[in-house]
Structure 1
Amino acid sequence: MSGPVGTFCLVLHSHLPWLAHHGRWPVGEEWLYQAWAHSYLPVVDVVSRLASEGRQDLLTLGVTPVLAAQLDDPYCLRGLHDWLGGWLLRAHEAAPRLPDLAAHEHRAAAAALTDFETRWRHGASPVLRGLADAGAMELLGGPATHPFGPLLLPEVRAFALETGLADQTLRTGTRPAGIWAPECGYTPGMEDGYAAAGVRRFLVDGPALRGVTAFGRTVGTSDVVAFGRDLDVTYRVWSPRSGYPGGRDYRDFHTFDHASGLKPSRVTGKSVAPEAKQPYDPERAAAAVARDAADFVSVVRERLAGLRDQHGRPALTVAAFDTELFGHWWHEGPAWLEAVLRALPEAGVRVTTLRGATDAGLVGAPVDLPPSSWGSGKDWRVWAGEQVADIVALNDQVQKTLVSSTAPGRARDPLRDALAQEALLALSSDWAFMVSKDSAAGYARDRARTHAGHVEELAGLLAGGRRGAAARRIAHWAATPFGSVDSRGLAG
């Protein structure tokens, strides 16, 4: 057969909960600024440089509305600028003790500052919109605050999705036709809600398609296409046991020089104690990037060749990751991405977006999907298990209060809009995830309870006709992400 051996789609999911004004360190705004500096800036820079060479349809990028709001927020933009300056100062201070590392970090921090000051000072949306409009990538949307959809009331699920899609339309000028379903969560019937909202494609995890991910599949009787992560390909990178980021020559994420906060060591070995790890060597890391990029290209090509033989025509593989893996967790990840995106076409693999795959007809027969997610067990246990029963109960009450507090009307009501926004923040899937994974569980529970408490307090004041008191209470709450939440959407 002539032509490409098959099609590769890279999908990146960028998401953090609303962190501004809710703590600084170790969980809070520091989390946002680290991910922004080490992942969002360099990953977008890779896309921009490849696009400047005339390359198109490089990848599919999801930026959740709650993250996009922070990447455009003046307070967060000032905070990142300060953080980048602090990174540069930390590199200077480390120079007498760690000269090689300090020089490496100085170059990285200076480049990030220049990039931010020349392209990002007015927010992420102009940058992303320019790349999407130029055809370099496809932007995905999603529900406003990344709630776990299967556990939402149908009307709340529809409201969260519409709020998120409308927000992205305001930011980028185009209503997204594809979404990364939060946590790849699915329950039968969700495709009908997607179709009603104008969503034409979404992501599920590979096991939801019983591992048959060679083509997108329309779901049920709808024309909405589900694309599944090909775990055989994705886990070549994102596997805690054997993924590339654990390679001995890459920078170790967990080992710190505590005086500067910089990371001076390479992985060295999985069982090597932090104090015994070897110094980080950028040249060794660059050689590892080249080696692992070549290996991944070989894996993709072999996978697609096998699928072509199996199905009798060129097929598809979708590798999907959290964006924060590239640069934040895996320091060399952006360089690896660039090497892979350059090498795949040379190896006879077509690289495109989910939209491009759909337009190329890489869609198979309809399928009925089971309840699923990409979490532990590929079911709902992370967000609905016994360990988060308190958050599940809290979310149920938040939804009931939200629905019962909604009043139809011609004019917007800023107080009810504020109630809806606090409800959406309470319903973020992050809180249950952090508890289930025992990752800052106390912070997560506090955040969920704080937002849920605001919902109940505001609902009580509105029910009692105490609008003045409600407005005064809202004025004392931390700033919130959206200015466009319209609670009238819940009233039908």
Structure 2
Amino acid sequence: MTRVPGLFTLVLHTHLPWLAHHGRWPVGEEWLYQSWSASYLPLMRVLRTLAAEERRGLVTLGITPVVSAQLDDPYCLDNMYHWLANWQLRALEATTVASPEALREFGSREHAEATRALEDFAVLWRHGASPLLRELIDAGTVELLGGPLAHPFQPLLHPRLREFALREGLADAGQRFAHVPAGIWAPECAYAPGMEHDYAAAGVGHFMVDGPSLHGDTALGRPVGAGDVVAFGRDLKVSYRVWSPKSGYPGHAAYRDFHTYDHTTGLKPARVTGRMVASADKAPYDPGRAERAVDAHVEDFVRIVVDRLTDESERIGRPAHVIAAFDTELFGHWWYEGPVWLERVLRALPAAGVRVGTLNDAVAAGYTGAAVDLPPSSWGSGKDWQVWSGEQVADLVQLNSEVIDTALTTVDKLHEQTSAVGARPPRDFVADQILRETLLTVSSDWPFMVSKDSAADYARYRAHLHAHATREIASAVASGRGEAARRLADGWNRADGLFGALDARRLPRP
């Protein structure tokens, strides 16, 4: 076996907005349970299998605090169990004599899959995701990437709230996993000049940007400015081979079609068949055909990685670093065969002579180059900030600014009222809930969904709902109605009780 020069890193970004207690269908908790069953359960199974083979440094796994909160939440855990049982029943219904033969066969396979998921969940997941992830981190199978609470678009955030969200997010990961991440996946890969200083102050040593932020030269990580914080760029030539805005493996005719439902059972029994084929004309899913496509795409991806590492190493005159980065939910939720492809790729790359490692491994092995000044950027359309700051979402930008100003002013007032000169104020549940609702208001998901016209009404509803919660509690504080403020904070907390360790006293002072 010929050793390929350099290092390959797979980075997965796991994120959904806070969905618990905020609707069920078509947008709401169903989104969480679909992603959990189709992506998170299979991914955990793959990583545990490979960890048992003592494979190390396989994946750099970003888990946002808001996803961690939901995967550990007792309410979400109970409802996930019911969702899996319902999936099993729907699959059983598809096996009845009244169903077409192709659907009966599909239902039998789906029933076996749902049964396995239920068994996995009952045995491994009933105490949440954190114990499982901690095992993988302890074993060195994955490197954990963290992020700020509630996934805000950081460049547009008030500096005080930006610092608070980042530090609280890292602390949240430390409490759940007994590991404070050394690196982060910045929400939307968004960067503004100077943010590297925030990262350094918070103990973050590296972060992800999209390839164009480094002008496409992603062969090495780059220290940003005069500091030591390293920016790693996604290699678009490799990443887009799997999935891009226009093409990628999941669109292959043999794979299961995401958009075509059997409306009686809610299952997805068709294959893609063709990009221009109407749902009613899609062919039945054929597992054997899909298996052959997976193997072909594994072989193709390994070839692309080997060629890219070889070419980039020759270009820069030293071993290069290639990073492929994706949303975790691509694997399973959007692309049913994705977890199988992922496991086979993680076996095939080392067999082909490719060294696989994490971002931490890259730093330790010196895969860094000359310092660089990064432009304002993101991984959104245009690779700039337009998705989160453009004219289409100008109202949300204004809403965020007003709500943040209200929150900071109110929390400062509460601390002034309860603090003796020079003393730390006692913890204030009202102040905590104000910041909790504010962070949910400024989640980057809402402008993204509006800009992409993806459940835009739901996104606007959620942004305004959390803004209303912030303002309602703050108004009671401003008018001196302390008891009313406490009742309101308690009421909103019943729906939005995530991040229980959030402590408003840690908000940076003006």
TM-score interval, smaller chain: over 0.9
**Of the candidates 180, 183, 188, which is equivalent to residue 183 of structure 1?**
188
Q: Does structure 1 retain, via aligned residues, the 8 Å contact 2:429–2:489?
A: no
Are residue 379 (structure 1) and residue 374 (structure 2) matched? no
Give 2:317's match in structure 1, choosing from 312, 320, 336: 312
SS for the counterpart of 1:468 is helix
Bigger Cα displacement from structure 2, 207-216 vs 3-12: 3-12
SS in 2 for 1:24: coil
Q: Is the 8 A contact 1:406 1:491 kept in 2?
A: no
SS at match of 1:367: coil
Partner of 1:471: 486
Partner of 1:425: 440
In the alignment, is residue 164 of structure 1 matched against residue 169 of structure 2? yes
Q: Distance in 2 between matches of 1:209 and 1:286?
A: 37
Specify the SS of the correspondent of 1:412: coil
Which residue number corresponds to residue 298 of structure 1? 303
- What percentage of residue pairs aligned between the two structures are identical? 61
CA shift at 1:401, angstroms? Answer: 1.3
Structure 1 residues 401-416: aligned runs within 5 Å: 401-407=406-412, 408=415, 409-416=424-431
Q: Which moved more, 1:399-408 or 1:70-79?
A: 399-408
Q: Which residue of 2 aligns with 1:288?
A: 293
Paired with 1:283 and 1:164, the residues of 2 have a C-alpha distance of 43
| Match runs of 1:313-462 below 5 Å | 313-407=318-412, 408=415, 409-462=424-477
Deviations 1:90-131 (A, max 9, x none): 000011212111011111111111111111110000000010
CA distance in 1, matches of 2:386, 2:136: 37
**Unmatched tracts of structure 1, length 5 or more:** none
Judge which range, 58-67 or 478-487, deviates more: 478-487
* CA distance in structure 2 between the aligned counterparts of 1:309 and 1:180, rounded to whole angstroms: 29
CA-CA distance at 1:2 after TM superposition: 7.2
Measured against aligned partners, the alpha-carbon deviations of 1:301-328 in whole angstroms (never above 9, x if no partner) come to 0000001111122111100000000000
Q: Distance in 2 between matches of 1:90 and 1:12?
A: 31
Deviation at 1:3, TM superposition (A): 4.1
**Post-superposition offset of 1:240:** 4.0
Taking structure 2 as the reference length, what is the TM-score of the superposition? Answer: 0.95
SS of equivalent to 2:431? helix
Equivalent pairs counted in the alignment come to 492
Q: SS at the partner of 1:317?
A: strand
Question: How much has 1:465 moved relative to structure 2?
Answer: 2.1
In structure 2, what is the Cα distance between the partners aligned to 1:242 and 1:35?
A: 22
SS of 1:11 mapped into structure 2 = strand
Contact 1:205 1:373 in 2 (8 A): yes
- 1:352 is paired with a residue whose SS is coil
User: Do 2:4 and 2:310's aligned partners in 1 also have CA atoms closer than 8 Å?
Assistant: no
* Residue identity matched to 2:440: L
CA–CA distance in structure 1, aligned partners of residues 398 and 453 of structure 2 = 19
Deviation of 1:293 after TM superposition, in Å, equals 0.6
The answer for the alignment partner of 1:39 in structure 2 is 39
| SS of aligned partner of 1:349 | coil
Shift in Å, 1:482 = 1.4
Please state how far the C-alpha of 1:150 moved relative to its aligned partner: 0.5
2:284 pairs with 1:274: no
Tell me which residue corresponds to 1:480: 497
Partner deviation per Cα, 1:461-484 (whole Å, 9 max, x = no partner): 112221110122223322421101
1:213 and 2:218 correspond: yes
Shift of 1:403: 1.7
Matches of residues 58-73 of structure 1 in structure 2 within 5 Å?
A: 58-73=58-73
Residue in structure 1 matched with residue 242 of structure 2 by the alignment: 237
Once the two structures are TM-superposed, the CA of residue 241 in structure 1 deviates from its matched residue by 2.8
- Contact 1:373–1:380, Cα closer than 8 Å, also in 2: yes
**Distance of 1:56 and 1:107 partners within structure 2:** 30
Residue 137 of structure 2 corresponds to residue 132 of structure 1: yes
Amino acid at match of 1:145: A
Indicate if the aligned counterparts of 1:150 and 1:186 stay in contact, CA closer than 8 A.
yes
SS of 2:326 mapped into structure 1 = strand
Letter of the structure 2 residue corresponding to residue 75 of structure 1: Y
The answer (yes or no) to whether the contact 2:48–2:136 under 8 Å persists in 1 is yes
1:487 partner letter: A
Q: Which runs of 5+ in 2 are unaligned?
A: 416-423
Bigger mean CA offset, 190-199 vs 462-471: 462-471
The 5-angstrom pairing of residues 69-84 of structure 1 reads 69-84=69-84
